[in-house]
């Protein structure tokens, strides 16, 4: 399972990249706004800055919702850097645009996915990545991880090549559950990645080892 970081914060992207386990980055308009990145020129520069940090797919989301607008915006984004993946919402014109990008060898990430039916449609259109939002499913009192499991089962039966990119991951347990459920990629905040490190017995054991080493050295 690949690890992407879900942020537009350059310091956090660098920190995750320095860990040596980062495979890519996802952003969205809300994450860009959170970092105060506004205006077309700044947004474009920010995507290039991210691509220059991480050697892997970087999802950049279109804000157009009509076919022609999505195509024009997506082409401009894809031209920025080889790492760019054009992120397209799960809407009718979005699916049509993903099919067009597939025909023209432009990588896509179909976003805002909440059902297995949507996942089938995106795979039929040839999406490179599919982003089911598991945390937001959990928020509605349904089970986000079981959506990943359903999609993984369907994709395996049907032989679809679209990668399942579990998104809206909120914590470290989500990451472990997604790995069990068959996600190809998880995109998560830095806190969820770092949370995987934590176990009290590791801390206690290390403290003991270091204390014993000190004692023996006296």
167 binds ligand G3P (CB under 6 A): yes
Angle between helices 92-103 and 116-124 (to 10 degrees): 30
Cβ-based nearer residue to ligand G3P, 56 or 135: 135
Q: Is the dihedral of CA 124, 130, 135, 136 positive or negative?
A: negative
When binding is defined by CB under 6 A, the residue of 3, 100, 133, 155 that contacts ligand G3P is: 133
12 binds ligand G3P (CB under 6 A): no
Cβ-based nearer residue to ligand G3P, 28 or 83: 28
Instruction: Find the binding residues for ligand G3P in span 36-95 (CB under 6 A).
Output: none
> What letter does residue 91 receive in the DSSP assignment?
S
**Closest separation between CB of residue 114 and ligand G3P, Å?**
11
135 binds ligand G3P (CB under 6 A): yes
**Closest separation between CB of residue 204 and ligand G3P, Å?**
32
Residues that bind ligand G3P (CB under 6 A): 6, 26, 28, 31, 133, 135-136, 167-168, 170, 187
Cite the active site residues.
Answer: 87
């Amino acid at each position: 399972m690949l690890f992407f970081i879900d942020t537009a914060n350059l310091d956090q992207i660098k920190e995750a990249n320095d860990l040596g386990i980062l495979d890519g980055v996802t952003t969205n308009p809300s994450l860009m706004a959170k970092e105060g990145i506004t205006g077309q020129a700044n947004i474009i520069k920010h995507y290039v800055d991210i691509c220059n940090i991480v050697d892997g797919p970087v999802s950049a989301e279109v804000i157009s919702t009509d076919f022609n607008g999505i195509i024009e915006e997506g082409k401009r984004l894809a031209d920025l850097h080889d790492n760019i993946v054009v992120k397209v919402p799960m809407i009718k014109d979005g699916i049509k645009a993903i099919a067009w990008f597939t025909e023209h060898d432009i990588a896509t990430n179909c976003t805002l996915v909440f059902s297995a039916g949507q996942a089938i449609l995106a795979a039929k259109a040839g999406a490179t990545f599919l982003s089911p939002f598991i945390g937001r499913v959990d928020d509605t009192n349904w089970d986000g991880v079981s959506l990943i499991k359903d999609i993984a089962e369907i994709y395996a039966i049907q032989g679809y090549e679209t990668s399942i990119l579990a998104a809206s991951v909120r914590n470290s347990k989500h990451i472990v559950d997604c790995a069990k459920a068959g996600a190809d990629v998880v995109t998560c905040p830095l806190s969820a990645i770092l949370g995987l490190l934590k176990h009290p017995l590791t801390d206690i054991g290390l403290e003991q080892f270091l204390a014993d080493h000190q004692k023996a050295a006296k």
